Amino acid sequence: MTARILDGKRVAQEIRDEIKENAKPLVAKGVVPGLAAVLVGEDAASKLYVGSKTKASVEAGLFSEAIVLPLETTREELGVKLDELNARDDIDAILLQLPLPGHLDAEEFLDRISPEKDVDGFHPVSVGKLVQKRSGPRPCTPAGIMELLRREKIDVAGKRAVVVGRSDIVGKPMAMLLMHANATVTVCHSRTRDLPAVAQEGEILVAAMGRPAILRKEHIRPGAVVIDVGMNRANTLEQVKDFFGNDEKRLAAFEKRGSTLVGDVHPKDAMEVASAFTPVPGGVGPLTIAMLLSNTLELAKVRRG
């Protein structure tokens, strides 16, 4: 069997085009949905993420502001900045880029964002709404995966779904959304006994561990739909060849940058055993950004629409 590639990039573009259309009536009324992205420090990867998020918002016809604060920003200063954004009427959605520098506690500041503007759905109020299946912003990565499954016509109801990873950002909300969509869900983590046997039960298998290509053939049920959230680097030629065979594009990327991206699932194994598979990159990643824009629009509609 060769797995069908689930093209997250294409689906994300579809979603982004729809957001642009759906934002028009609001914009016509003078309400431009606004996203503020707050970054503390100059971490290169975080800067890149914030840059692509703000660029995508503008392309979708939304207003976007990136706020870069110095590394030495104090608790008080960050608190004041978030309060300021909470109070601004032109800002509908606030994103706090993680990780924060060591002296700032992520939980304290995620809690400080008004639930009305909680674009990532990480505030305890939003988490409560998710658990109770009430409307509210959903964490973007799992929400994007649900949207991908829906648009690719992959039925979830009644299926056995296995989620590997239990973070607040991906694993837990993913499990909750799958359960709300009537899947029978198992959540695995680093203390799960006999992971291959448990993972094999999944007709839908979601990998969100942050461990390069760790899920192999023995973890994948033949014909399963495999969603790979992981974003890791393959840093040696040996790894690249093991993960991708003689894929010329990958070898060229490795040659150029000294590394290439790989998910948590062994891509060659997934292609052989699964019925459908999200590639890394180009699978889940683009959907996360699309859902961030979708959440921004929804928050604007609720608060100002």
Kindly identify the residues of this chain, within the stretch 210-229, that bind ligand NDP according to CB under 6 A.
210-211, 214, 229
Block residue for tokens 């606030």: 94
13 closest CA partner among 278, 259, 290, 222? 290
Q: Does 293 bind ligand NDP (CB under 6 A)?
A: no
CB of 208 within 8 A of CB of 230? Answer: yes
CB of 170 within 8 A of CB of 208? Answer: yes
Q: Residue 158 region, left (φ>0) first, then alpha (ψ -120 to 50), else beta?
A: left
Which stretch, 153-161, 173-181, 203-211, 270-278, contacts ligand NDP (CB under 6 A)?
203-211
Q: Does 115 bind ligand NDP (CB under 6 A)?
A: no
Torsion of CA 151, 155, 156, 158, to 10 degrees: 170
User: Which one of residues 35, 104, 113, 208 is an interface residue with ligand NDP (CB under 6 A)?
Assistant: 208
78 closest CA partner among 62, 55, 98, 58? 98
Q: Does 53 bind ligand NDP (CB under 6 A)?
A: no
Q: Does 166 bind ligand NDP (CB under 6 A)?
A: yes
Q: Does 98 bind ligand NDP (CB under 6 A)?
A: no
Q: Does 10 bind ligand NDP (CB under 6 A)?
A: no
Alpha helices (H) in 66-170, listed in sequence order: 75-87, 106-112, 124-131, 140-151
Q: Does 170 bind ligand NDP (CB under 6 A)?
A: yes
User: Which one of residues 89, 135, 153, 191 is an interface residue with ligand NDP (CB under 6 A)?
Assistant: 191
User: Which one of residues 169, 177, 240, 271 is an interface residue with ligand NDP (CB under 6 A)?
Assistant: 169
The residue count of the chain comes to: 305
Smallest distance from the beta carbon of 180 to ligand NDP, in angstroms? 19
244 closest CA partner among 214, 268, 222, 261? 268
Q: Does 300 bind ligand NDP (CB under 6 A)?
A: no
Three-state secondary-structure class, residue 184: strand
Nearer to ligand NDP, 32 or 231 (CB): 231
Burial class of residue 14 in the structure, from the number of CB atoms within 10 Å of its CB (0-12 exposed, 13-18 middle, 19+ buried): middle
Q: What is the CA radius of gyration of the chain?
A: 20
Q: Does 188 bind ligand NDP (CB under 6 A)?
A: yes
Considering CB under 6 A, how many residues would be counted as binding ligand NDP? 26
Active site residues: 53, 97, 120
Which stretch, 18-26, 166-174, 252-260, 296-304, contacts ligand NDP (CB under 6 A)?
166-174
Interface residues toward ligand NDP, by CB under 6 A: 141, 164-167, 169-171, 188-192, 195, 208-211, 214, 229-232, 284-285, 288
